[in-house]
Amino acid sequence: MSEPVTFVCSCDDTMPLDLSVLERLDLPVRAGTQLCRKQAELVKQQLANGQPLLIGCTQEEPVFREMADEFPHHGALQFANLRDMAGWSDEAAQAGPKMAALLAAAREPMPPTPFIALESKGVVLILGSDQTAIEAGLRLADQLDVTVMLTPGAAVMPPRQTPFPVVQGKVRLASGHLGAFALAIDDFAVSLPSSRQTYHFGPVRQGATSTCDLVVDLTGGLPLFAAHDLRDGYCRAMPNDALAVEKVIHQASQLVGVFDRPHYIDMTASLCAHSRSGKTGCTRCLDLCPTGAISPQGSSVAIDPAICAGCGACAAACPTGAAAYRLPPVDALMRRLRTLLSTYHAAGGTDAMVLLHESGHGQDLITMLARCGRGLPARVLPLQVNEISQIGPELLASAYAYGAVNVGIMARGKPKHDLSGLDSTVALMRSILEPLGYGGTSLAVLSTDDPDQLRELIDALPKGQGPRERASFMPQGRKRGLMELALRELHHAAPVMVDVVPLDKGAPFGKVQVEVAGCTLCLACVTACPVSALSDNPDRPALSFSESLCVQCGLCAATCPEKVITLVPQIDFTAWGAPKKVIKTEEPALCTVCAKPFGVKSTIEKIRTQLAGKHWMYDSDKRLSVIGMCDDCRIETVINDGLDPHQAGGGVQTPQRPRVRTTEDYLAERAAGKDGLDPD
């Protein structure tokens, strides 16, 4: 694939271009002053040749795409926002390395977004408690299949003609999404056609159900769903807000057909650490999901892609990588970050700050700061994410490892949704950055809706200490591996070499502390561990631990019958690089018949001591001897020697089981007349 021809534009000389810096890129660079209008022929010549193009302007992207359609142009066509991000700034003269970094990062390919299809046939249930619901139904009746359900006791006058059913009811439970809502309804009744001044209803029944494609909620009560504004197909407005009602009516009228929706999360159930054997372990994603899209399903969780709103909090918090964000995948985002920082430093940039922002609020604020304020500083490198709540430790750790001295995360002054997951991620990374010498306060969430305040927050953010040697690793693979790799590189280049970093409870890293004296090597913890951090030895009784694999899910502690396991959240970089550690090992018990190892010697001896002479099933040496045998020899001995587990050998008072009666016994008794039946 040929390298793209790169066009940069001074936008009528409103921003300086340092071509000497830009030419350090391994790309042919061509400059202009108005490439979208009077110098458009320069771009068209390259489009006609079919060459891939990279244009340093996003405002006029539609114009350039129209040019490409004239030929047609089949090469790649990419864009980078140099003007708002770098050129319109009071530090534009020093922004050459930043422009080079933005152009290089724009070349990094991003995988296509996967989609799911939601189909709506226009069946709508309108909920209301006054005349507003009827009026909304009349407005939508020509476009949708309408049913209006009024709150019990609502005094609503029937219209002269009603082209849709009117019922009463109270929603007890609601689930579903656009095209597949299901509601459980109590106090359900159908309106009577004889209703005069107000609606009257027939017999009431409980437990009715309703399925529909859309729900229009004009009751003014509590929403039917958590994070209701993120539930596709659920349209809600207060009935006394005329403008909001109009918006809801228009919104509902457009929701007919097949709609593509991003498939945000890729779930790998085999990696999930939610539960094992009925014991609950990790619940991080369940605790954070704002829409209720995540639910337990056996030993893992399931994510409904039709309900998931794409905040990414589950993927950011998932310690195993079972939940992985796909818009874009984390490794693709990290590769763009790598290119951004490496190019900036190669072009002579210093004191790099990565500014993570969303495409909506963040991009708008940066644009307003560029047009009406001082613009972004020359050292600030913006990187767009779909949602700031998708940001995990692996992205933040790699930013510092690649050479950033600051990372800022742009958030709304009044967040639309809960950012507790992001706050936990930032707190975790600060607790790692501080002891390693990077400076925990160099990482911050910048919460504001004011562009000028954004610049003030950036300028006030204390610079951290950069790495001793910038990392260059190529991010590839799943999240857990990337997170471990990024943290190893962060530690390797740390200004202060600290091997053990203590963390707060709930961190996804740590070790298990085992009271060795109380451990019986039953290995229940090994069976429960979903990531193989705890393992056994097939040749002898042993319990081993690999700290780099542990996700602190707690399943081992919950499963341990002796309750001798506790969790210790920390990062021990020495242990991460060491072989797995043997926690406890013992001599195996050898079968007294075939000498095959079959258990733990101390455990077998303990059982023998506890049962000898104290239990009626083991009241003789012969019966007690089977405890020291493997499964095969024990079964063979019991069968060959005729040992009845319900019949004691003497020495201990035991319950005597009656002899098993056979058909011959019944026939003999009948012949003797002892069964009370006449043999004739």
pLDDT tens for 272-310 read 999 998 899 999 999 999 999 999 999 999 999 999 999
Quick check: 281 and 306 in contact, CB under 8 A? no
Instruction: Let me know how long the chain is.
Output: 680
In three-state secondary structure terms, 283 is: coil
- Inter-residue contact 556 to 529 (CB < 8 Å): yes
Extended beta strands in 412-520, E state: 443-447, 500-502, 510-514
CATH of 263-325, picked from 3.30.1330.40, 3.30.70.20, 3.40.50.2300, 3.30.360.10, is: 3.30.70.20
- Listing DSSP states for 12-77 in one string gives TTTS---HHHHTTSSS-EEEES-TTTTTHHHHHHHHHTT--EEES-STTHHHHHHHHHTTT--S-E
Q: Give the strand pairing for 300-303 and 353-358.
A: unpaired
Contact 580, 568 (CB under 8 A): no
Which residue did the predictor score with more confidence, 587 or 508? 508
**Are the beta carbons of 316 and 482 closer than 8 angstroms?**
no
Q: Which amino acid is at 625?
A: S
The lowest-confidence range among 75-79, 238-242, 531-535 is: 75-79
Structure-block tokens of residue 291 = 């829409």
Tokens for 136, please give them: 């909304």
In the CATH scheme, what architecture does the domain 5-79 have? 3-Layer(aba) Sandwich (3.40)
Q: 501-585 in CATH: which number?
A: 3.30.70.3270
What is the distance between the alpha carbons of residues 511 and 570, in angstroms, rounded to a whole number?
A: 7
> In Å, how far are 147, 168, 186, 190 from 208, measured between CA atoms?
15, 11, 6, 12
**Regarding predicted confidence, which is higher, 605 or 460?**
460
Q: If you average pLDDT over each of 1-5, 341-345, 516-520, 617-621, which comes out highest?
A: 341-345
Ranges for all domains in the chain classified under CATH 3.50.50.60? 118-260
Which pLDDT belongs to residue 651?
46
Mean pLDDT of 114-133: 96
| Average pLDDT of the residues in 176-185 | 97
Query: Given a cut of 60, is residue 25 above it in pLDDT?
Result: yes
Rounded distance between C-alpha atoms, residue 608 and residue 211, angstroms: 64
Q: Please, what CATH class does the domain formed by 330-494 belong to?
A: alpha beta
454: nearest Cα among 98, 16, 84, 104: 84
CB 126 within 8 A of CB 216: yes
pLDDT of residue 459: 97
Q: Is the pLDDT of residue 338 over 80?
A: yes
* 184, two tokens: 């459980």
**Cα distance between residue 40 and residue 220, in whole Å:** 55
Who has greater pLDDT, 641 or 344?
Answer: 344
- The average pLDDT across 345-356 equals 96
Predicted pLDDT of residue 560: 95
Q: What percent of the chain has pLDDT over 70?
A: 95
pLDDT at residue 613 is higher than 70: no
Give the per-residue pLDDT at 387: 95
Tell me the average pLDDT across 124-151. Answer: 96
Confidence of residue 417 (pLDDT cuts 50, 70, 90): confident
> Measured in Å, how far apart are the chain's first and last C-alpha atoms?
102
Q: Are 81 and 362 in contact (CB under 8 A)?
A: no
SS3 string, 230-257, reads HCCCEEECCCCCHHHHHHHHHHHHCCCE
For all residues of the chain together, what is the average pLDDT? 92
Amino acid identity at 570: Q
CATH, range 118-260: 3.50.50.60
Query: Does residue 45 come out as left (phi exceeding 0), alpha (psi in the -120 to 50 range) or beta?
Result: alpha
**How many other C-beta atoms can be found within 10 angstroms of the C-beta atom of residue 516?**
12
Helix (H/G/I), strand (E/B), else coil: 150: strand
CB 9 within 8 A of CB 57: yes
pLDDT band at residue 652 under the 50/70/90 scheme: very low
Q: Return the pLDDT at 416.
A: 80
Give the type of residue at 618.
Answer: Y
What single letter denotes the amino acid at residue 660?
V
* Cβ atoms of 649 and 619 closer than 8 Å: yes
Q: Coil, strand or helix: which one is 621?
A: helix
Residue 406 has pLDDT above 70, yes or no: yes
Looking at residue 67, its pLDDT comes to 92
Q: Which of 425, 408, 336 is nearest to 366 (CA)?
A: 408
| Positions of CATH 3.40.50 in the chain | 5-79, 330-494
Taking only the tens place, the pLDDT of each residue in 567-584 is 999 999 999 999 999 999
For the chain, the helix, strand and coil percentages under 3-state DSSP, each to the nearest 5:
35, 25, 45
Please give the model's pTM, rounded to 2 decimal places: 0.87
Return the number of other C-beta atoms located less than 10 Å from residue 678's C-beta.
7
> Higher pLDDT residue, 329 or 654?
329
Q: Which of 113, 88, 105 has its CA nearest to residue 382? A: 105
pLDDT at 628: 84
In this prediction, residue 642 carries a pLDDT of 67
C-beta atoms surrounding 650 within 10 Å: 8
Q: What is the location of CATH 3.30.70.20 in the chain?
A: 263-325
Q: From start to end of 156-203, where are the E strands?
A: 166-177, 180-190
Residue 19 has pLDDT above 70, yes or no: yes
DSSP string, 331-373: HHHHHHHHHHHHHHHHTT--S-EEEEEETTHHHHHHHHHHHHS
Q: Is the pLDDT of residue 234 over 90?
A: yes
Cα distance between residue 39 and residue 341, in whole Å: 32
On whether the CB atoms of residues 310 and 451 are closer than 8 A, the answer is no
- Give Rg (Cα) of the chain: 35
**Contact, 400 vs 490, CB < 8 A?**
yes
**Which neighbouring-strand residues pair with 55?**
7, 79
Residue 617: what pLDDT?
Answer: 65
User: Taking the CA of residue 562 as centre, how many other CA atoms within 13 Å lie in the half-sphere pointing to its CB?
Assistant: 14
The answer to which of 18-27, 150-159, 447-456 has the lowest mean pLDDT is: 18-27
